[in-house]
Amino acid sequence: MEKFYTTTAIDYVNGAPHIGHAYEKILTNVIFRHFKQRTDNAYMLTGVDEHGIKIQKTSKEMGIEPKAFCDMNAQKFKEAWELLDINYTKMIRTTDDYHKKSVQLIFKKLMEKGDIYKNSYKGLYCAGCEAFLAEKDLDEDGFCPVHKKKPEVVSEENYFFKLTKYKDAIINHIKQNPNFIIPSFRAKEVLNQLENIEDISVSRAKSNVSWGIDVLDDPTQVIYVWIDALSNYITALGYAPDKESEEFKKYWPADVQVIGKDILKFHSIYWPAILMALDLPLPKHILAHGWITIDETKMSKSLGNVVSPKSVMESFNLNEPDAFRYYMATAAPVGKDGNYSDDDFKEKVNAILANSMGNLLNRTLSMLVKYFDGNIKQEFIKHNSLFDGAKQTIEKVKHHFDYYEVAEAGQEIANLIDKTNKYVTDSAPWTLAKEEKMDETGHILYTVLEIMCVASSLIYPYCPNIASKMAHQLKYDITKKIDDIDFNNIKEGKLISKEEIEPVFLRLDSELAKDKKNK
């Protein structure tokens, strides 16, 4: 693999980050970290969307300038992703000067090409969606189905993009590339939307929306979200119509763009059309993830059930985000909705990270110290059929990630741990030790520790801190590329002492975990 480029949607900074934002960023980051194990040239882009009427209105209500308001909230998103160990390559802000300049040139190029034209328009505008809606898009009460508010009638002279010009080309691309939209069942939905597609407004009158990027040579208009926000995926790499940076040439097209299912239309129809108009290749895949509900209820400010990732970590006394990362990344099969509940979170991470994986490593190392003073003898080191199963797990995990099936890959790792636990139970090394069958006992412990090396590499994208702790106790190189994983990691000689053995993840309800947090 020569390179890997993945992006998230850029978050609107009208509020603070919540668990839904975190789900997408964690999902994307797990994908990114996995592919960093397969190539030295991996790039993850995230960012924030900072223009539009909502920012303009909210900042005015607060009595501060829009940019100051954006600075304040953009920092909240940055801090949230640091808290969750989202090791992105770049975080773009649509108020960045380089982005604004490139967007203006993109807009100008599309005008010169004849793909943008000026026209008067009267339509139903939802400020929440920052989009014009058709009558058929509204619910039976005439409200926006997402924001449950009646859109306002807006009459303006705007610039329009010739979306209809690219309708057939987009339909053909989707049909000829069945994995362009993931999950594939979303493609039918998009094809249905394309049937009645119309040209779209790509500017707003400055008299109505002043907080935006000015249209070059027309100070009465600001560039609307579709070109401003969507272009971030290429401007972040240094793209502008008058130049294509080396970084852009290296990484574009994106391998996968991760977005929520609610903005699939914009990314699978509007965005491909803009790219076609710019004569640029389309992203290889659009991954539309589902929503995260809270206790089976959709998040809503009015219901008071909006959960922040920081509040979850604080309520469970978590010093590191690994448990939350693992839970969110495996919350739902690819493209389906997931759910968060405190009880399920505690039960799942305790069962998998503490009881199954952490305890397996801890008791195996403890037995190695008890029976062999932490030493690996040469006679322990030989092939075990479990290694063949572990190799198959590696390939299964890679296959799932090739289709961005993050939860499914996580289940394969859990299955490997379960099989290894069963091997220990069935082999009963403690019984063999009592019978003084020490070579057999040592081989069993060696086998488990080799499997744990593999497990640490595979779980690393989900749980980088836990995996690193595992690797440290195993004296294993966690930076090893996934295709270089072998079964020659545990060497003859002293592996560990009693003092070096530490739990890699403490049960959430354990007194030890609470004591560690207090310290």
Q: Among 12, 46, 36, 29, which residue's Cα sits nearest to residue 324?
A: 29
Q: Is 147 a catalytic residue?
A: yes
* Nearest-10 Cα torsion for 258, 261, 265, 268: 30
Catalytic residue chosen out of the listed positions 144, 443, 453, 469: 144
Catalytic residue chosen out of the listed positions 67, 149, 243, 298: 298
Predicted TM-score (pTM) of the model is 0.93
Q: Estimate the crossing angle of helix 385-402 against helix 438-459, to 10 degrees.
A: 10
Q: Is 122 a catalytic residue?
A: no
| Single-letter residue type at 446 | Y
Q: What is the pLDDT of residue 515?
A: 55
The answer to the question of residue 209 being in a domain is: no
Please give the distance of CA 448 from its chain centroid, rounded to a whole number. 31
The answer to the question of residue 459 being in a domain is: yes
Q: Is 126 a catalytic residue?
A: yes
* Helix, strand, or coil (residue 182): strand
Residue 516's pLDDT band, with cuts at 50, 70 and 90, is low
Residue 135's pLDDT band, with cuts at 50, 70 and 90, is confident
- CA pair distance 403, 303, nearest whole angstrom: 36
Q: What is the pLDDT of residue 121?
A: 78
Q: Residue 114: left (phi > 0), alpha (psi -120 to 50), or beta?
A: left
**Alpha-carbon Rg for the chain in angstroms:** 26
Which of the residue ranges 124-138, 162-176, 195-209 would you say has the lowest mean pLDDT?
Answer: 124-138
Any idea what the Cα angle at residue 373 is, between residues 367 and 378, rounded to 5°?
A: 90
Catalytic residue chosen out of the listed positions 18, 99, 267, 396: 18
Residue 506's pLDDT band, with cuts at 50, 70 and 90, is very high
Residues 320, 323, 326, 329, CA torsion sign: negative
Relative to beta strand 152-161, strand 200-201 is antiparallel
Full domain range(s) for residue 493: 342-518
Q: Is 70 a catalytic residue?
A: no
Q: Among 134, 195, 182, 189, which residue's Cα sits nearest to residue 290?
A: 182
| Single-letter residue type at 445 | L
Which of the residue ranges 76-90, 161-175, 195-209, 467-481 would you say has the lowest mean pLDDT?
Answer: 195-209
Structurally, how many domains does the chain consist of? 1
Reply yes or no on whether the pLDDT at 132 is more than 90: no
Catalytic residue chosen out of the listed positions 147, 481, 491, 516: 147
Mean pLDDT of 213-225: 95
- CA pair distance 192, 170, nearest whole angstrom: 12
- CA pair distance 338, 295, nearest whole angstrom: 10
The answer to the question of residue 93 being in a domain is: no
Q: What is the pLDDT of residue 412?
A: 98
Cβ atoms < 10 Å from Cβ of 504: 24
Q: Is 144 a catalytic residue?
A: yes
The answer to the question of residue 183 being in a domain is: no
Q: What is the pLDDT of residue 303?
A: 63
Q: Is 243 a catalytic residue?
A: no
Contact 472, 496 (CB under 8 A): no
The answer to the question of residue 74 being in a domain is: no
> pLDDT digit string (tens) for 469-502?
999 999 999 999 999 999 999 999 999 999 999 9
Distances (CA, A) of 256 to 24, 284, 335: 13, 6, 14
Average pLDDT over the chain, rounded to an integer: 94
The answer to the question of residue 464 being in a domain is: yes
Q: What is the pLDDT of residue 76?
A: 96
DSSP state, 297? Answer: B
The answer to the question of residue 476 being in a domain is: yes
Catalytic residue chosen out of the listed positions 70, 99, 100, 129: 129
Q: Residue 163: left (phi > 0), alpha (psi -120 to 50), or beta?
A: alpha
Q: Estimate the crossing angle of helix 53-62 against helix 66-83, to 10 degrees.
A: 100
- CA pair distance 404, 302, nearest whole angstrom: 34
The answer to the question of residue 159 being in a domain is: no
Reply yes or no on whether the pLDDT at 519 is more than 50: no
Q: Is 21 a catalytic residue?
A: yes
Q: What is the pLDDT of residue 289?
A: 97
Domain of 380: which CATH number? 1.10.730.10
Task: Give 345-409 as a DSSP string.
Answer: HHHHHIIIIIIIIIHHHHHHHHHHHHHHTTEEPGGG----HHHHHHHHHHHHHHHHHHTT-HHHH
- CA pair distance 364, 439, nearest whole angstrom: 15
Mean pLDDT of 102-112: 98
H-helix or E-strand spanning residue 324: helix 322-329
Reply yes or no on whether the pLDDT at 407 is more than 70: yes
